[in-house]
Amino acid sequence: MEFRFELALAAHLEATTDWVIARQLGAAVADPGSRIMDLCAVRTTESLSDRAAITSRTIPPLAVESDVGAGAAVDWRDAFDCSVEHAQSVVDRAVDCGFFEAERRNGRRYVRQTARYPDWIDSIVGIENKPDLDRPGDLDRQLRVDIALSLFDEVILATESYVTRAHLNRLPEPVGVWRFDPESGERTVVREPTPLSPDDPGIEPTNAEPLRTDIEIIDSNAKARQRRRIGERAYGKGWRVDELPACEHADVTDDGRPYCAFYDRVVDPATDCGESCPAHEPSRAPRRGPDGDPREAKPVDRRSRGYRATAKRAPAVSVSDTHRAAARVDLFESFVRTVQRSDDCWDITRKKSGWLTTDWRTANTSRRPAASRRGRFRPLPS
Ligand code: SF4
């Protein structure tokens, strides 16, 4: 149910907005796999066409973050802050996708950017899908972590359920709420999201145990890097499934969703299809979209046709190296207030400094190793 809801909403947003949409992307920083956002929607600047001119694929994030520029070519081994093997793999992929060009001098390989990396990401919206609010799962905690980390500019909950006042009261205030009907494609804004602060440091829980939760302070540089990674991943991956099931009944809708002609509905190839399906009829080759690739089934390929976003150009992501202690105290207190209202309700009456393994309030987190930036919450004994 959630898969069909998610694809229907992605198709709807693609048809009604200028956003670049992708599904299931890592939405944490210290441990990116610990939080997967259902839909990530990138609002773009006028530089989208410059980004599109480089490649339609994901540019390796480390290539963008390396010391390789668009001017003089440099020896690739001096330009990366990682192992030689990893750097070589990144360089190969960057050359392959057209972001780097390479030349040989005295038997050594020099690389440079083919074009300066454009500032094409305006803002990013994280959308958590929960079609049935009567089965919320871990929704409450997920949304509170999203707000505390503030990696996205806005966070929205999308549901098919009727949203009551009680539902709204249980959700963190900054979270926007949409009601979406996947059959009719009708979307109603129940509550507008409150903009978050992705340019400020955030707090990410890194480990949760019954009597203890570890956190990490995420500085604005790390958040900016992760936001660019989300943008690049969204650009190269999109929201469509990569391959349709190898079944005679498999097809693709006009907007690129996997469709089963036998059951007459959109299907999730990973869970609905395969030999365990009673109606499965093997085909000789995986079924493809009209242009040979399900991703190309959409009516307009905005990326490959020099699509220009109409979104107003916004200032570049501000990356500040200055982390004021007061700001972090505010952030910490905000986070504690946030988690305090959740089901596992930590007690905040204990003196804050007693909870932390390090005096993070006065430390410059950008110069400290990750382990020393970790704080620790402990609830009071009952
Ligand atoms: S495997 Fe089953 S659900 Fe999937 S396309 Fe074939 S008949 Fe439909």
pLDDT digits 0-9 by tens, 251-287: 999 889 999 999 999 999 999 999 899 999 988 665 5
Instruction: Say if residue 42 is in the same domain as residue 79.
Output: no
Q: Is residue 317 in a domain?
A: no
Tell me, in angstroms, the distance from the centre of ligand 1 to residue 250's CA. Answer: 6
Residue 109 belongs to what domain range? Answer: 60-97+105-116
- Write down the pTM of the prediction: 0.75
Mean of pLDDT values over 103-129: 95
Instruction: Say if residue 77 is in the same domain as residue 112.
Output: yes
Q: Is residue 265 in a domain?
A: yes
Instruction: Say if residue 265 is in the same domain as residue 143.
Output: no
Neighbours of 247 (CB within 10 A): 23
For the chain, what is the domain count? 3
* pLDDT at position 331 over 60: no
Instruction: Say if residue 216 is in the same domain as residue 330.
Output: yes
Q: Is residue 224 in a domain?
A: yes
Instruction: Say if residue 68 is in the same domain as residue 158.
Output: no
Mean per-residue pLDDT over the chain, rounded: 78
Instruction: Say if residue 219 is in the same domain as residue 250.
Output: no
DSSP structure string for 144-188: HHHHHH--SSEEEEEESSPPPHHHHHHS-TT-EEEEEETTTTEEE
Ligand 1 pocket mutation, candidates 241, 251, 280, 283, criterion most atoms within 8 A of CB:
280
Q: Is residue 277 in a domain?
A: yes
Q: Is residue 33 in a domain?
A: yes
- Token reading at 155: 């966070």
Encoded amino acid at 335, one letter: F
Instruction: Say if residue 64 is in the same domain as residue 41.
Output: no
Q: Which has more pLDDT, 32 or 13?
A: 13
DSSP one-letter code for 115: S
Q: Is residue 334 in a domain?
A: yes
Q: Is residue 311 in a domain?
A: no
Instruction: Say if residue 337 is in the same domain as residue 368.
Output: yes
- Residue 288 has what pLDDT? 52
Q: Report the phi/psi class of residue 274: left, alpha or beta, with left for phi > 0 and alpha for psi in -120 to 50.
A: left
**Ligand 1 neighbours (beta carbon < 6 A):** 245, 247, 249-250, 260, 262-263, 267, 272-273, 277, 279-280
DSSP one-letter code for 140: H
| Residue 25 near residue 41 (C-beta atoms within 8 A) | no
